[in-house]
Amino acid sequence: MTKWRSVIAAVLFLLGGAFFTVHAQQFSSVSGVVSDKSGAALSGVTVGLEDPGIGLHASTTTNDEGHYQFLRLTPADGYQLIFKKDSFKVLVLGPLSFGVSSAETYSATLELGSVTQMVEVKEAGESTLDTTDATLGNVISSREVTDLPIQTRLNPAALMQLQPGVNDAGSVTGARSDQGNITLDGIDVNDQETGQAFVSTTPVSVDSVREIRTITAGETADYGRSSGGMINLETKGGTNNFHGNLREYNRNTLLEANDWFNNRDGISRAPLVRNQFGGSIGGPIKKDKLFFFFDYEGLRQAQSVSYNRAVPTMQYRSGELAYVNNTTNPATGQPCDGTARLNTAPTCISFLNASQIAALDPQGVGTNAALMTYILGRYPLPN
C-alpha cells in the first residue's frame, strides 16, 4: 500500500508540475523601484495593484532597496498601481496594460506632502522594456489583431510572419520552418502532423483573441521544445461589465482580382462567395468572482478554382511524334531534314508523321488507335 501511495503521489506531483509549467507562460508580472526626488530608495512604501474590471485588489511593500513586485498576474488592460507612504503624496499610475507572458517595469518617484494629496499619472498602456530575460519579440493587442488584414481570420498565428527575423517560408532567425511553437492559453496546439509554419491544430477566431505574444529569439526554458519562434495566443475573458460583438465579413467575385495567368490566357475570374460571421459575449456570473466569455465563428463558402494542366499538342493529337534532331549544325539555320517544322538554337525539333512512325514499328502498327481515341475524347485543345 505504501508503494502505491508513493507512485500516486509522484504522478500527481508530475501532473501538477506540468500544469504549472504550461500555464506559467500565460501570466504577467510587474515590478519596479520607488524613490524620492533625490533618487534615494524608499522602503516600506505600500504598493497597491487594482483592476476594477475583474475586482482585483492586491498590495505589497517595498524592501530596503525600494523594490516591489507582483507575480502571476492575469494579462489585462486597466490595471492601476497606487503608492502610499507617510509624509508623501499618494501616487497613482494607470491605466496600465500587462501583456501576456511579459514582465513590465514601472518605477515611481514620490513627492513630499500629505497622504491626503494625490498625484495621478495617466499612462498610455504601452508595454515597458522587459529587463528580466533576453527574449526578443512583441505583444500584439486585440485591437491590432482585429485591424490587421488576415485573410481567413481563423489563424492569428500567421501574424508571426510580420515580425523581424522571419521569412516567408516560416524560418525564424535561421531555424527550420517546422520548429515554431504555438500555445493557446498555455496549451500546446502545434500541428505535428503536417509540420507547417504558423499553423495551429485548432482554428482560432481572431475576435476571440485578446493578445498575441511573439518571441523570435532568446526563449527561456519555460517555453521549451523548439529552436524556432514562439507564438503565445491568449483568449479573451469576462469582466464585471458585459461586452461583446456581432460581425460579418463578406468576399465575392465582384471585388476579387483575377489571377495574372488567367488574365494572360483570357480566362475570367473564378467565382467566389465567402461569408464569415459570428458573435461574442462576456460578462460577470458573480461580480468580482466569476466571469464568462463565449465566442462563435461560422463560415460559408462557395468557390471554384482554376487549374493549369499540361495537355497534348496539336501535333501529338494528330498522331505525330516530335524529337530533338542534332544531325546537322543548328547554327546554319537550315532545317535538320525534310520533316523539320521548328528550328530553335541550339537544337532543332523534327516530327515524324503517322506513316513514318508505323514504318519504325517492327509490327507495322504505329500509333495506338485506342490511346488516340482516349486523348481526343478526354483532353481539351491547348490554348
Q: What is the average per-residue pLDDT within 366-379?
A: 85
Nearest to 181 by CA among 157, 163, 165, 202: 157
Chain segment 158-184, per-residue pLDDT in tens: 888 888 888 877 788 888 877 888 888
Over 60: is that where the pLDDT of 339 sits? no
Chain segment 99-148, per-residue pLDDT in tens: 887 888 899 999 998 877 778 787 655 566 666 777 777 888 777 777 77
Cβ atoms 234, 26 nearer than 8 A? yes
Over 70: is that where the pLDDT of 373 sits? yes
Residue type at position 159 = L
* Residues ≥6 apart with Cβ < 8 Å to 317: 372, 375, 376, 379
pLDDT of residue 80: 92
At residue 333's C-alpha, the angle toward residues 330 and 335, to 5°, is 80
Cβ atoms 233, 156 nearer than 8 A? yes
Chain segment 43-96, per-residue pLDDT in tens: 999 999 999 888 889 999 999 999 999 998 888 888 999 999 998 999 999 888
Set of cell numbers at residue 153 = 481570420
pLDDT of residue 326: 63
pLDDT of residue 152: 65
CA 71 – CA 132 distance, rounded (Å): 13
Sole residue written with cell 485578446: 210
Segment (H or E) for 374: helix 369-378
At residue 254's C-alpha, the angle toward residues 206 and 265, to 5°, is 110
* Residues ≥6 apart with Cβ < 8 Å to 164: 216
Chain segment 310-338, per-residue pLDDT in tens: 888 888 888 888 777 666 555 555 555 54
pLDDT confidence bin for 22, thresholds 50/70/90: very low
CA 81 – CA 135 distance, rounded (Å): 25
DSSP helix, strand, coil percent of the chain (3-state; round to 5): 20, 40, 45
- DSSP assignment of 32-56 equals EEEE-TTS-B--S-EEEEEETTTTE
Percent of the chain with pLDDT over 70: 82
- Strand stretches in the chain, DSSP E: 28-35, 46-51, 56-61, 67-73, 76-84, 90-98, 103-105, 108-109, 118-122, 136-141, 181-184, 187-188, 209-217, 230-235, 243-252, 272-286, 290-303, 321-325, 340-344, 347-352
Phi, psi angle pair for 313, to nearest 5°: -70, 170
pLDDT of residue 21: 36
CB-side neighbour CA atoms (13 Å) of 117:
10
Pairing mode, if any, of strands 230-235 and 181-184? parallel
* Residues ≥6 apart with Cβ < 8 Å to 53: 76, 77, 78, 239, 240, 241
Pairing mode, if any, of strands 67-73 and 28-35? antiparallel
Residue 196, number of CB atoms within 10 A of its CB: 13
Cis check: omega of the bond before 362, within 30 degrees of 0: no
Percent of the chain with pLDDT over 90: 19
pLDDT of residue 63: 94
Set of cell numbers at residue 75 = 494579462
Pairing mode, if any, of strands 28-35 and 108-109? parallel
Q: What is the average per-residue pLDDT within 238-262?
A: 88
Please report, in angstroms and rounded to a whole number, the separation of the first and last CA atoms in the chain.
Answer: 81
pLDDT confidence bin for 366, thresholds 50/70/90: confident
CB-side neighbour CA atoms (13 Å) of 254:
1
- Mean of per-residue pLDDT scores for the chain: 80
Listed ranges 145-149, 260-264, 293-297; the one with the highest mean pLDDT: 293-297
Q: Is the dihedral of CA 259, 260, 263, 264 positive or negative?
A: negative
- DSSP assignment of 55-92 equals TEEEEEE--TTSEEEEEEEPPEEEEEEEEE-TTB-EEE
